[in-house]
Every structure is written in C-alpha cells, then in structure tokens.
C-alpha cells in the first residue's frame, strides 16, 4: 500500500516504557514510572463515583457536544460555550487544527525542542515546519516573529514548554501576539497550566477578546490526573471554533471521560494540593542540582530537565536498572540530560538517592 509522501519517514509518538515491560525485561519487582508527566497523586476521589455512574450507559454513544462538560468549563473560564472545542486529549485538538487549516502551500512556526506533535501533524499535511531554537531553554519569540511570512498559518507557543519546563512571561507573550499578523493563528499550549506558580505567567483568557487569532489549549491529563481517559480542550473565538469543528470526529470524547472531567472540575482543593506538593518536591531536585553543580532549567511544570554531564542514554539506562523509568534527554534534544517527572515524596527521595550515589 502506498501512503502519501509526507508520511514517509515519520514515526509514531514514542511514550515512556510501560512498567510491566520493564519488570519483565529486567526482572524487577518494583518499577517507578517518572517519564510521562502524569500526576503521581492520581485524580480527585470524586472521579471514581462519576465513572461508575457513566459505566451504566456504556452501550450508549456519548454526547458528541459534551454539553454538561462544556457548560461547566465555560463557567469556570468565564467564556461562552461556543468558544470551546473538546478533544481526545489536547493532542487531538492540535490534530483537528492542522487537519482543518494547513495545506502543502503553508508553513508553521514552532520552537525546538518542544512538544513534537506540532511538527508531526503539520508534516502529515505536507506543511513546511519552521523551527526556531530555544534560547536558554525559552522560546525565542523575536526570532519566531522573523520566521513568519505570508505563508505562515500557525505559530505554536508551548507554555510552559515541554521538555524544558520554562515559560514565556506575560509581557513577552503580549508583545509577541501584538506583532503577529492577524491572519496567523497563535496557539498557546498550556497543558501544565495548573502547576504554574510564576506571578508573571500570562493570563491568556482575557486576551481572547482582543485577539481573535489566539487559541488556548488545556488538558485534564496532567494535574487533573485523567491521562488514561484522554480529554482536553481548546478555547478561542467562536468563529474559529465553528470553522475547525467539522474536522472533529463524532463522539470523540467518551462518556466516562466527560463524566470524570466534569467531576474533577468540582474539586479545586485537590488541584491546589497537587500544585503545592509539586512545588515542594521540585525544590528537592533543584537542591540536588545546586549542591552538586548540575545545570537545570527552572520548571513551571511537573517535571524537571537536568543536565547531568553524561550521555542521556547512559543516565536513562542506569536509572532503568534501578527501577526508574525516565526520559532520555538525547531523544528530547538535550544529549547530556534526563527529564524526570516529579513523583510522590517517597519516589523523589529514592531516585535522588540513586543519582547521588552514582554521580557524586
């Protein structure tokens, strides 16, 4: 079978190694996964009951409009219901955008390294990808502006950025979007929004009234702890949402995901607790780096990218042998680094102990 030319050479997204696979391969009884930026504290206790209720109607198609979740999310964000589009994770909203907007005559502008699905979905559409290197781990917005031309359809700003964990501040983002041509979409991917503590992080929602070319992406997969259920959303101008919605598959968010997300929104205390614990645990990794002379990017997410001055594959293999699944920095564009998702206090203490014994 022949696939279209743009697909040749592409590889599927590579997630972190599954726990059971590592146990079998290495003969380990315990394996701790700190690779995929999942919430180590799970999800709100309210979610289980909501899923059990939704399970009763498992033979019935889900609400394709996600009305209840749409109403609740709109209320929480203080936007109108027609400003929202839901996806099977925010990844699918990226796919819908690219599917609906991009052609072979267009280009997109992104940072590099950043979340790979921007590039991946654009390449499938035959679109040119213009990648602008990070500066000190942060998006170089001036250089990204220079990369925009009359064929640019979208600019992606991953904020906080994955894999560096860094962020674009409010002043820089607002200056940037003011200079982007009105016919170019600016996508602010805020998957880690709930973990941010920086006081000068952009408040993008009010900007929607001024910039109809802005689309904000958020997800229930990270702080809300619903990664396996896959539900995320985009927030934008009603005209933009209306234009791209035909690119969305029918019934793309399942009933259990909608019910779980709806109940998770009601538990603000759980999200705040996760935010606070994440901030406390981040200090352990920062102290480890400071005390031992290792460089790292200050992170506003639930992971940290540390330069440990050894090949990323070597770091990954060592930690794997000790029962920790992490992300090899070589695969992320940082060849002497490792990216570690923050776990529970006990998990973080264990991995830092192993790193200390090996590296120091």
For tokens 């060849």, the residue is 335
Average pLDDT over residues 337-359: 97
Q: Is the pLDDT of residue 162 over 80?
A: yes
Q: Is the pLDDT of residue 1 over 70?
A: no
> How large is the C-alpha radius of gyration of the chain?
20
Q: Is the pLDDT of residue 62 over 90?
A: yes
Strand partners, 218: 233
Nearest to 220 by CA among 201, 245, 247, 192: 192
Residues sharing a CB contact under 8 Å with residue 142, sequence separation 6 or more, in sequence order: none
Half-sphere exposure of 221 (CA within 13 A, CB side): 21
Mean pLDDT, the chain, integer = 95
Sheet-wide strand order for 185-189:
84-87, 232-236, 214-219, 185-189, 152-158, 107-112, 128-133
Which pLDDT score is estimated for 12? 79
Q: Is the pLDDT of residue 147 over 70?
A: yes
Asked whether the beta carbons of 108 and 122 are under 8 A apart, the reply is yes
Count of residues in the chain: 360
- Percent of the chain scoring above 70 in pLDDT: 99
The first and second tokens of residue 130, run together, are 């213009």
Average pLDDT over residues 182-186: 97
Which pLDDT score is estimated for 240? 97
For tokens 């997109």, the residue is 108
Q: Is the pLDDT of residue 340 over 80?
A: yes
Which pLDDT score is estimated for 21? 84
Q: Is the pLDDT of residue 28 over 90?
A: no
pLDDT bracket for residue 321 (50, 70, 90)? very high
Q: Which domains does the chain have, with CATH numbers?
A: 5-30+269-359 (3.90.1150.10), 45-266 (3.40.640.10)
For tokens 């109809």, the residue is 212
Which pLDDT score is estimated for 360? 75
DSSP 138: B
Cβ count within 10 A of residue 182: 7
Q: Is the pLDDT of residue 82 over 70?
A: yes
Average pLDDT over residues 29-41: 94
Average pLDDT over residues 216-242: 97
Asked whether the beta carbons of 315 and 35 are under 8 A apart, the reply is no
Which pLDDT score is estimated for 22? 79
Which pLDDT score is estimated for 296? 97
Burial class (CB in 10 A: 0-12, 13-18, 19+), 307: middle
Integer Cα distance of 136 and 133 in angstroms: 9
Give buried/exposed letters for 86-114 (b at 16+ CB in 10 A, else e).
bbbbbbbbbbbbbbebbeeebbbbbbebb
Largest Cα separation within the chain, whole Å, is 57
pLDDT tens profile 98-107: 999 999 999 9
Nearest to 94 by CA among 64, 66, 115, 65: 115
The first and second tokens of residue 238, run together, are 């009603």
The first and second tokens of residue 100, run together, are 């609906």
Which pLDDT score is estimated for 255? 96
């Amino acid at each position: 079978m022949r696939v279209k030319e743009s697909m040749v050479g592409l590889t599927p997204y590579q997630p972190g190694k599954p726990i059971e696979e590592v146990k079998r391969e290495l003969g380990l009884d315990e394996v701790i996964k700190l690779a995929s930026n999942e919430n180590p504290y799970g999800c709100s206790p309210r979610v289980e009951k909501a899923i059990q209720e939704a399970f009763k109607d498992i033979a019935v198609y889900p609400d394709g409009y996600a009305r209840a979740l749409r109403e609740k999310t709109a209320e929480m964000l203080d936007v109108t219901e027609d400003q929202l589009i839901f996806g099977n994770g925010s990844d699918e909203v990226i796919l819908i955008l690219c599917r609906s907007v991009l052609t072979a005559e267009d280009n997109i502008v992104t940072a590099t390294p950043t979340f790979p699905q921007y590039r991946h979905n654009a390449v499938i559409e035959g679109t040119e990808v213009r990648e602008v290197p990070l500066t000190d781990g942060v998006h170089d917005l001036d250089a990204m502006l220079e990369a925009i031309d009359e064929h640019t359809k979208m600019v992606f700003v991953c904020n906080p950025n994955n894999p560096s964990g860094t962020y674009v501040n409010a002043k820089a983002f607002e200056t940037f979007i003011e200079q982007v041509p009105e016919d170019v979409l600016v996508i602010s991917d805020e998957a880690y929004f709930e973990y941010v503590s920086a006081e000068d992080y952009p408040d993008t929602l009010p900007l929607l009234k001024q910039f109809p070319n802005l689309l904000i992406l958020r997800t229930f997969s990270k702080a809300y702890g619903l990664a396996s259920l896959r539900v995320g959303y985009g927030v934008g101008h009603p005209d933009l949402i209306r234009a791209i919605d035909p690119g969305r598959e029918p019934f793309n968010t399942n009933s259990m995901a909608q019910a779980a997300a709806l109940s998770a929104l009601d538990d603000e205390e759980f999200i705040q607790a996760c935010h606070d614990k994440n901030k406390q645990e981040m200090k352990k990794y920062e102290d480890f780096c400071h005390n031992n002379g290792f460089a790292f990017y200050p992170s506003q997410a639930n992971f940290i990218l540390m330069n440990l001055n050894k090949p990323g594959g070597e770091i990954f293999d060592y930690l794997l042998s000790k029962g920790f699944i992490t992300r090899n920095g070589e695969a992320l564009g940082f060849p002497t680094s490792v990216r570690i998702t923050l776990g529970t206090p006990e998990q973080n203490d264990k991995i830092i102990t192993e790193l200390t014994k090996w590296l120091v």
